[in-house]
Amino acid sequence: MLLSTLFFAAMNACVKQLAHLPALEIIFFRSLFSIVASYVALRQQGVEPFGHNHRLLISRGSTGALALMCYFLSLQHLPLATAVTVQYLAPIFTAVLGIWLVREPVRLWQWLFFALSFGGVLLVQQGSPAPANVVAAPAVSGLLFLGVGVLGALVSGLSYNAIRRLRGREHPLVIVFYFPLISLPLSAVACLFAWHTPQGWDWLWLLGCGIFTQGAQLTMTRAYQLERLSRVAPLNYLGMFYALGLGYLLFAEAFGLLAYCGMALVLLGVGLNAWYTSHLDGKAATVPPAEEVVA
C-alpha cells in the first residue's frame, strides 16, 4: 500500500503537468496503456483475462472508472490541494462501507483515529499554497465540483470493497484488467466531443501517467486482498506526504505551519490505527478455537 500511494502521487504529478488537456482525454490514454499492459501480463502468466466472478469484477471496474472520472474532474476544476483533500475521504468511506459489504467491524477507537487523520488532512489543505494555474471558480461551480469530488471518494470506497470481496477468487491482474476495460470505452466516447491533440512533452507525461497507474493499481489490489480494510485503507493518507514532497521538488510549492501540523496528525492517526488493529489481531490469535475450549 505504501508503494501504491507513491505511484499514485507520481501519477498526480503527471496529471498536473497535463492540466491543459481535458480530464477524460487523460483517462483515455491512461486506460489504453493499462488495458494493453494488463492483457499482455495476463497472457504471459496464462491467466484467463475475463475471470469468473463477472458481477463483482464489473462492479469493481465500473465504480473504479466513475471514481476516477470524478477525481480527475475535481482536479481540473478545483485547486489541487482541495481536490486531493476531498479524495482522502475515500479510506473513511471504504472502512465504513466495509461494515456492511464485507462484514468487517470498525471499533470505537478507530473512529477517533480516522477523525484525527481527517482533521490533519483539513489542516494540510488550509496550510497549502494556492496553485498559480487555477482560476477561482464561481461559488456555485465550486460547490458543484466539490460535490463531484466527494462522490468520487464515496464510489472509491465501493470499488475498494469490491476488491476485498474478490480476495482469493480472482488473480490481481484480472481485477486490474477490468478497470480499463470499463473506463476505456466510456472515456473514448467522451473524447469524441472534446479532443485536444497532445503536443511534445505531453506524450511523455501521458506515458508516465499510464506506467504509474498500472503499478499503483497492482500494488493497491494486492494490499486490499492480503489485509483487512480498516488497517490498510487509512494508509492512503500517507500518499499526501509523497504528494507534498513531489510538489516541493517539481513545482516549488512551499507550505505553512498548519500543513506541517496536519502531517503530524495524519501520521498519528494512521500509526495508532495500525497499532490498534495489530493489537486486536494479536489478542484474537491467542484465543483457542471453540472446539479446543469445549474439549
Task: Please check whether residue 293 lies inside any domain of the structure.
Answer: no
- Kindly state the cell numbers that stand for 157: 470506497
Residues 2-34: tens digit of each pLDDT: 888 888 888 888 888 887 888 889 999 989 988
Q: What is the mean pLDDT of residues 235-261?
A: 76
3 state DSSP class of 130: coil
Task: Please check whether residue 289 lies inside any domain of the structure.
Answer: no
Please calculate the CA angle 247-260-80 and round it to the nearest 5 degrees.
35
Task: Please check whether residue 256 lies inside any domain of the structure.
Answer: yes
Residues 40-64: tens digit of each pLDDT: 989 998 998 998 899 999 999 999 9
CA distance 43 to 187: 25
- Which residue range forms the structural domain that includes residue 24? 2-191+201-283
How does DSSP assign 10-49, residue by residue? HHHHHHHHTTTS-HHHHHHHHHHHHHHHHHHHHHHTT--T
How many domains is the chain built from?
A: 1
Task: Please check whether residue 291 lies inside any domain of the structure.
Answer: no
pTM, 2 dp: 0.75
Q: Decide if 122 contacts 266 (C-beta within 8 A).
A: no
Residues 114-144: tens digit of each pLDDT: 899 888 887 876 766 655 554 444 555 667 8
Task: Please check whether residue 292 lies inside any domain of the structure.
Answer: no
Count, in order, helices (H) and strands (E) of the chain.
Answer: 13, 0
Task: Please check whether residue 233 lies inside any domain of the structure.
Answer: yes
CA distance 241 to 5: 9
